[in-house]
Structure formats: C-alpha cells, structure tokens
C-alpha cells in the first residue's frame, strides 16, 4: 500500500525550493518590499540597465518602497524595541497533512489522490487499492479552475493544497524548464505541436504555459531557449485547417509583430480547450490600458483604429471632435471594440466620423486609470510653469510603456488635426478643451489640464523628439489629399497591373485603407476572370524603380498604407503594384526568404540581387546592377558575376536600396 499521509514537520524533504517559492515567492516578497511602490514608479519593460540598477538599489538596499511598521516609523525606534520570544512557542505540533482533490463530475464525487509516476485515485484515505490510475505520461494538458469565495469550502480543497497538488502533477509531466513558471498561478499547461514561418515545413513539440495574457514556450530539451508571446499584442488570432495523413486537423494561427506561429493540439479535445483559453486571454477584457488588445506599437487597438480612420477620412471634416454622433451607434461600436477590438474593421460606408471620434474620447474617459495617471496628476500641475516643456519630457519618460506610446500616438494625431485647421476649423485650443477632461478624467473645469494638453500639441515635435522634416512631409500629403482622385466612398483609386506593366494589363480599382494584399489579388483576378488552379498561387508585388526591384506583399499587409509611402521617393511615379503567378510551394518560400532543394529546406545564403551604389560608379549610370550576394559570419559579401573576389560589408551597418 502506498503511503498517502506525510508529516510536513518530520519529513523535511517535502519542503523543496519550489514549494517554498509557492509560499514565499516573488508576489509574497513584494507585499513587503513593494508595498509603497506606486504604478508610475514601477520598472518599465524597456528600461535601461542603469535604470534597473537604480531601481533595485532603491527597492532592496535603501528599502524605499517597503512596508512600514504600523506603530514604529523609523529604524532607530525599531532597534530600541526589545522583543522577548518564548522558545516554547516555536515548537508547534501540527496535524498530519494529506493532499486530496475533488473531481468535479456531475455528482461531485470525492477522491483521495496520490501523485508519483502515476496519478492514483482512491475512494478514501483507507483504501488499499486505487479505483483509477492515470499515467503522468498520458497527461497532455492540465487546466486549472481557481477556487473563489462564492463556493463553499466543503466543495474545494484549500488554496495551498491545490497549488501543491498541481505542482506535483506538473513536476512529473513537464521538463525542468517549465518548473519555475509553474510555481505561479497559471490557466493551462500542456504539450503542443508548433511551427514558425522560418521553418514552415517542420513541426516541433514543446510544453506551453498560459499565465494571464502571456503564453510561454518551453522546449522539451532542457537546454533549449524559452520563448514568450504576449497575447494582448497579437495582430491576428484565427483557426485554419490542413490535411495530414488523410486527416483534417485544426491549426491555431498566432500572428505577432515580426513572426507567425502555428499551434496544433495532440488531439481535438485538448486543442479546443487551448483555443478557448488563449482566445479568452487575448481578449483584452480588462479596463486598464495595458490590459487592452495592443497594436504592434503597443497602442490599444481601439485607439489605433480610431486614429487611422479619422486620419484617413476626417481631417478635412469641419468641426471634427466637436460634433457629436448618435448615442445608440456609439454604444454599439464601443461594445464591439470591448468584445474583440482586433476584429473590428472601420469602414466609411458603415461608420460615421462623429461616432468614431466620440468612441475615442469615451475610451479615454472610461479607462480605469487615465493616460496621464492619477498618481502623477500633481506633478503635471506643478510642471505647468516655467521650463515646463523639459519637465513634461521627464514625466512622460516615467510613464509605463503603454501609457507613453498611447499618449504619443494621440498627441501626434491631434498635432496633425490642428495642422489642417484651414479645412476642419479645429485649432489647438479647441482640441485641448475637448480632450483634457477625457485624458485627465476631470470634470472639465481644470484650466491647468487644458493648458497642459495645449502645450503638448503645440510643442509635439520637441516634447516627443520627432523630426520636423518627416512630419512636414506627412502633413503635406494629408493637406493635398483633397486634390487627389477620390471616390465618393473615400477610397483611393490606383492602377494595378496583371503579370506585366503594359497598358493592356492595367486595371483601375478602388483601394480602401483596410484592404489587404490578399483582397486586392482576389479582386484583380475576379475583374479579369482569371480562374484559380491547384498548381499556382497569385500574389501582389510592389515594384519600384520601374520594376528594377520587386518584393511580395504579405497577404495581410495593408496595400494603401504601403502605396502612400511612395510619396517619399524621389520619383513616386516609378512605383506600381503588379499581381503575378507564383508556382505553388514557392509562395511561403518567397515570404520567408527560403530556397527549396531536393532534400531539405535551407535558409538562402547565396543568390543574385540587384543593387545600386550611391553615387553610382563611372559608366554604370544610375541603374541597378545584378550581383552575387552571400551572408557569411555576420558579413554581407557581394561580387560581380564574373569577378572571383568579394567585397565585405558588415550586415549591421549596411543600407539597402
């Protein structure tokens, strides 16, 4: 019979470092060392090493934020207090502790459990033989439902016993790289298959740990590097399917900034559980800025989408931000953003400018802590005096990253709005009066708050260290849009070529700000009645310098956003879009810079590219020349086709054309 009762006093081996961390871990330690730490004093994730060193010194060496004694205010007073401890009180006899767990079946059956190489379930602590046995090797995932105060204590085991029980199961089922993560509360842990776009043909296995909005990747090999995905920063969360060994399998697609990850469950059941948990964790259900679904620049998607829509369609709208929308439409749109901001697509035919501007103001007014932060409100007011601009810059640097990026994006937008005052009749003063109550969450009567917002808008370039030349170029583009050829819906009309740039292959169509490359490709093929085949795929390419250089657009890349960048070129008319046929199997290879060989899929390190030197060499003109490039030992090597020696250029210092 397996012993299922242990004395936590006599058996000291039970108290491992991991269990002690559960009881006295980082969260518990911060209850003392960080009790007086205000949100604006917290260490930001992108802080420099010097800032981190200063913070650690203040926190642990100086004890600046530690919990104060309730009756003794200073260290000297505390040292004068003599505390007499009766040694007999240190010897406390405790009852034996056993771990039991309730399986929440339909009839709430109660089992006595033991964890070793298997999970053994007994009808009671006196049963000799288990009534159920589960090998830890057969456990593919484990989800945790935390007890809450609304349930009776008879229906749940206590919090510590639950943590200990869960940790023991995970310790037996997961690699060493997961154990540190599992000492803190998590929602789900288990084995998943995954693949990244850089190795799109090969599936790997790893253990995944879901903690709040973070998804940790722990490879099965203990020496392999771990990885993390912030689910709030996902650009896309969707399900697709593939056929493998004549069986259709669902795949979860996570698109983050700079990478795409495909996840596949061991079975259908665990996949559906992972999908629901990840979808819930990525939903941005909180009401603080950092709990929102975020864009690639760490700006809440609701803010990013509204600003993009207003910049596209509303800068010339008279009385923008002053005119109110319909309350019913505003409420409905706000609920859509709250439910899943990532999937809300603002379109001029479906949404009104006044509704979107009111949603933007309402979001800042209803967020739990204002973007300027309540704790910093006195500092903002004190800064509104002489040398205030430099003081503003110092306070902004102390803001959490999401607050800082969000504030910069909004002030940048308002700066552009007031630059178009000739069109919209909205000067800086008007915008400040409208936005200050929302940004500071005041009653609208604060003159200091209005002055602060006005200063930030007027001095945006200085306070946020922006380049004036770049901003002036963008403003010039915005103010001249009224002279461009726009349809009634506000979509830009551009020319797209099919396979080659000749007049007979030119197609004129409307491109909206939300249209992606995949939509444009399908629309061009539909307009020219080009049938789809199993052997080929079609992709949209961006061509510049009259076609001397081409690059494929990612299927989800916004076409208009890229086309508007052409105005920065010396000759914008030399750029165009072309839809081309690509053999099936090479589409992914093009996007991931891979070459297909007979046996393996290897990273392309040698190949022909076109380049142009500035200033151009004698007799070469100003055209791009085809050369052989090779990446070797962090060096970019290039040579002419007929030359044997190579030129070296460090990769991290090179500039491409």
**Which pLDDT belongs to residue 156?**
45
Q: Which residue has the higher pLDDT, 190 or 645?
A: 190
More confident residue, 268 or 385: 268
Domain count along the chain = 6
Residue 502 belongs to domain with CATH number: 3.10.20.90
Query: Are residues 194 and 278 located together in one domain of the fold?
Result: yes
pLDDT, tens digit (0-9, with 9 covering 90-100), for 518-544 = 889 988 888 888 887 777 788 999 998
Pairing relationship of beta strands 576-583 and 492-498 according to DSSP bridges: parallel
Taking only the tens place, the pLDDT of each residue in 452-478 is 999 999 999 999 988 776 677 666 666
Burial of 340 per CB tally in 10 Å (0-12, 13-18, 19+): middle
The answer to whether residue 634 sits within a structural domain is yes
| Shared domain check, 414 and 342 | yes
**Is residue 554, in this structure, part of any structural domain at all?**
yes
**Whether residues 336 and 476 fall in one domain:** yes
Over residues 353-368, the pLDDT tens digits come to: 999 999 999 999 999 8
* Domain termination site, one of 262, 283, 304: 283
Which span out of 167-171, 242-246, 629-633 was modeled with the highest average pLDDT?
242-246
Answer with the one of 256, 283, 310 that is the final residue of a domain.
283
Last residue of a domain, which of 173, 198, 222? 173
Predicted local distance difference test score (pLDDT) of residue 158 = 60
* Per-residue pLDDT, 353: 92
CA 611 to each of CA 550, 624, 641, 654: distance values in angstroms, whole numbers, following the listed order: 12, 5, 13, 12
- What is residue 125's predicted lDDT score, i.e. its pLDDT? 75
Domain carrying residue 565: 492-592
User: Has residue 235 got a pLDDT over 70?
Assistant: yes
Q: Do the beta carbons of residue 535 and residue 584 sit within 8 Å? A: yes
Q: Could you list the beta-strand ranges (E) of 52-181.
A: 97-98, 100-102, 110-115, 118-122, 132-135, 141-143
Residues 557 and 580 in one domain: yes
The answer as to whether 656 is a domain residue is no
| Residue 330 falls inside a structural domain | yes
- Give the list of residues 6+ apart from residue 617 with CB closer than 8 angstroms, or none: none
pLDDT band for position 613 (cuts 50, 70, 90): low
First to last CA, the chain: 74
Token pair for 3: 């012993």
Split at pLDDT 50, 70, 90, the class of 95 is very low
pLDDT in tens, 121-159: 888 777 888 888 878 778 888 887 765 544 444 444 466
Q: Averaged over 332-336, what is the pLDDT?
A: 94
In this prediction, residue 478 carries a pLDDT of 62
pLDDT computed for residue 143 by the predictor: 81
Q: What is the pLDDT of residues 400-458, one digit of tens each?
A: 999 999 999 999 999 999 988 888 899 999 999 999 999 998 875 678 889 999 999 99
């Amino acid at each position: 019979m397996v012993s299922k009762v242990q004395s936590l006093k006599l058996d000291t081996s039970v108290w491992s470092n991991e269990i002690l961390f559960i009881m006295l871990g980082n969260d518990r330690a911060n209850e003392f060392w960080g009790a007086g730490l205000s949100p604006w004093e917290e260490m930001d994730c992108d802080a420099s090493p010097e800032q981190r060193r200063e913070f650690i010194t203040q926190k642990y060496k100086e004890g600046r934020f530690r919990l104060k004694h309730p009756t003794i205010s200073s260290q000297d007073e505390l040292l004068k207090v003599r505390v007499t401890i009766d040694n007999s009180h240190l010897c406390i006899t405790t009852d034996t502790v056993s771990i039991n767990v309730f399986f929440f079946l339909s009839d709430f059956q109660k089992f006595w459990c033991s964890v070793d190489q298997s999970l053994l379930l007994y009808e009671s602590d006196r049963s000799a033989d288990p009534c159920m046995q589960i090998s830890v090797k057969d456990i593919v995932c484990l989800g945790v439902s935390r007890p809450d105060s609304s349930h009776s204590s008879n229906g749940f085991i206590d919090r510590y016993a639950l943590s200990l029980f869960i940790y023991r199961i995970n310790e037996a089922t997961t690699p060493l790289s997961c154990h540190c993560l599992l000492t803190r509360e998590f929602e789900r842990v288990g084995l998943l298959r995954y693949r990244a776009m850089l190795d799109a043909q090969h599936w790997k296995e790893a253990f995944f740990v879901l903690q709040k909005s973070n998804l940790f990747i722990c490879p099965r090999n203990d020496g392999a590097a771990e990885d993390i995905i912030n689910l709030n920063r996902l650009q896309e969360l969707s399900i697709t399917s593939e056929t493998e060994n004549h069986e259709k399998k669902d795949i979860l697609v996570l698109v983050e900034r700079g990478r795409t990850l495909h996840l596949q469950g061991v079975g259908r059941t665990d996949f559906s559980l992972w999908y629901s948990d990840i979808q819930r964790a990525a939903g941005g259900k909180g009401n603080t800025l950092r709990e929102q679904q975020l864009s690639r620049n760490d700006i809440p998607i609701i803010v990013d989408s509204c600003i993009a829509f207003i910049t596209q369609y509303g800068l010339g709208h008279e009385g923008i931000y002053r005119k109110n929308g319909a309350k019913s439409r505003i409420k409905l749109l706000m609920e859509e953003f709250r439910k899943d901001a990532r999937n809300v697509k603002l379109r001029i035919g479906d949404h009104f400018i006044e509704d979107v501007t009111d949603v933007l103001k309402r979001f800042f007014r209803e967020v739990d802590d204002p973007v300027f932060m309540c704790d910093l409100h006195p500092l903002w007011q004190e800064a509104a005096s002489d040398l205030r601009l430099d003081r503003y810059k110092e306070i902004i640097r102390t803001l959490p990253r999401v607050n800082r990026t969000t504030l910069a994006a909004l002030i940048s937008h308002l700066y552009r709005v007031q630059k178009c005052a000739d069109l919209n009749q909205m000067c800086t003063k008007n915008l400040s009066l409208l936005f200050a109550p929302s940004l500071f969450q005041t009653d609208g009567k604060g003159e200091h708050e209005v002055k602060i917002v006005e200063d930030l808008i007027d001095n945006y370039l200085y306070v946020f260290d922006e380049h004036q030349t770049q901003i002036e170029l963008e403003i010039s583009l915005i103010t001249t849009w009224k002279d461009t050829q726009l349809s009634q819906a506000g979509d830009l009309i551009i020319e797209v070529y099919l396979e080659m740039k000749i007049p007979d292959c030119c197609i004129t169509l409307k491109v909206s700000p939300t249209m992606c490359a995949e939509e444009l490709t399908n629309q061009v093929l539909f307009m020219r009645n080009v049938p789809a085949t199993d052997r080929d795929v079609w992709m949209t390419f961006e061509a510049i310098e009259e076609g001397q250089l081409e690059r494929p657009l990612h299927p989800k890349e916004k076409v208009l956003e890229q086309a508007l960048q052409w105005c920065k070129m010396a000759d914008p008319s030399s750029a165009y879009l072309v839809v081309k046929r690509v053999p099936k199997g090479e589409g992914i290879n093009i996007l991931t810079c891979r070459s297909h060989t007979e046996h393996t899929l290897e990273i392309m390190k040698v190949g022909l590219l076109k380049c142009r030197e500035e200033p151009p060499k004698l007799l070469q003109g100003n055209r791009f020349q085809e050369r052989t490039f090779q990446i070797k030992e962090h060096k970019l090597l290039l040579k002419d086709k007929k030359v044997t020696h190579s030129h070296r250029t460090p990769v991290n210092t090179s500039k491409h054309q």
